[in-house]
Amino acid sequence: MSAQPDIRTLSDEDLEQALVDLGEKPFRARQVSEWLWTHAAGSFEEMTSLGKGLREKLDASFSLGRIDQVEAQYSRDGTVKCAFQIDGDAHRVVEGVLIPTTKRLTACISSQVGCSLACKFCATGKLKLLKNLTSGEMFDQVQMLNEMAHERQGKGLSNIVYMGMGEPLLNYRNVLESVDRITGTPGLAMSPKRITVSTAGIAKAIRRLGDDEVKFNLALSLHAANDEKRNHIMAINETNNLAVLAEALQHFHGKTGTRPTFEFIVFKDFNDGLQDARELADFCRNVPCKINLIEYNPIDGGEFEQTTPQRLDDFVALLEDRNLIVNVRRSRGKDIDAACGQLVNKNAAGVQAPRK
């Protein structure tokens, strides 16, 4: 890595001051930002509307490193999983997924290299946490997947979900900065209502999202609506139990007016019974919400199996009888391990990084 500061970590105000310190006019900051966030320049030399002297000053003062796409896998259903290398380090790789459906083109991006939460149903949870991604590194995933969407589908992304590797709310500042770049001008000018940030349940950070009055959507990876079962599969619940989460979600909804989505993977003979559905329905009384039921995608060494169609149908019927909004999400990209919970950190040789 370069010893020079990464120019994309500067705020707009800091960038303007840095350019003034280099003897430039303040308006140059807007021009540089357009190259960084709208045109996704990979070097200062590409900034051809700037004079050579300014480009040389920038090159001498800052680094400009983007992530590298090192691999792409293509599913039979059109899903594409990309491996992105961070900092030129073969052991720092994250995965992003382009998911096409008849109505949407979604980019699923990562917020951390690895993860510290160790949820039992998630392949990423078997890895150690190596790095919080910068706002620029998350922006790059979106920008590159957007380019791929144009090339393969003839149109750009319609939605972005922070549901890849890592826990976004443990990288709070950088995630929100990346959303600002994706939704801003200079930037990709996407609507924040097309963006969903998913969390395993960091109550303090959920409250903070409310206080910050964010405009994007929030999804909670719930997966069980009683503390004993949730403790078993998600250790984070031991310090962020359902009562604490309910209060945080109420605060979030009260501040933003946004209805959270509860993500619920249905595991065979674990959380797929009618009592589990009743507990979920009861939890949904805490806040206006939507429910996404997700089929389980097996991982190496996992202890769970996918529920049966009949039990899933019965589960859905009970929730709908309670007048709840329920969607059943069918996983895509399973043949390339790109489905929910299957993303893992691999280096260029395909070797999984160990968890310590």
Instruction: Report how far Cα 236 is from the mean position of its chain's Cα atoms.
Output: 18
Q: Which of 95, 167, 263, 295 is catalytic?
A: 95
Residue span(s) of the chain under CATH 3.20.20.70 come to 68-336
State residue 318's pLDDT score.
98
7-61: which CATH architecture? Answer: Orthogonal Bundle (1.10)
Tens of pLDDT, residues 328-341:
987 665 665 554 54
Assess whether pLDDT exceeds 80 at residue 42: yes
For the chain, give the percent of residues with pLDDT over 70.
Answer: 91
> Which element (helix H / strand E) includes 309?
helix 309-321
Share the mean pLDDT of the chain. Answer: 91
Q: Provide the whole-model pTM.
A: 0.91
Per-residue tokens: 204: 């303090």
- CATH 3.40.50.150 describes domain 68-336: no
Q: Report, in this order, helix, strand and coil percent for the chain, each rounded to 5.
A: 40, 20, 40
Measured distance CA(4)–CA(243) in Å, rounded: 46
In the residue annotation, 303 being an active-site residue is answered as no
Residues 68-94: what's their mean pLDDT?
Answer: 92
Instruction: State the pLDDT at residue 125.
Output: 74
Q: In the prediction, which pLDDT does 300 show?
A: 64
Pairwise pLDDT comparison (356 vs 276), residue with the higher score: 276
- Residue ranges of the chain assigned to CATH 1.10.150.530: 7-61
* String of DSSP letters for 133-182: PPHHHHHHHHHHHHHHHHHHHSS--SEEEE-SSS-GGGGHHHHHHHHHHH
User: For this structure, is 95 an active site residue?
Assistant: yes
Residue 355: pLDDT over 50: no
Structural tokens at position 274: 């009618």
Residue 173 has pLDDT above 70, yes or no: yes
Tens of pLDDT along 114-165?
999 988 888 777 788 999 999 999 999 999 999 999 999 999 999 999 999 9
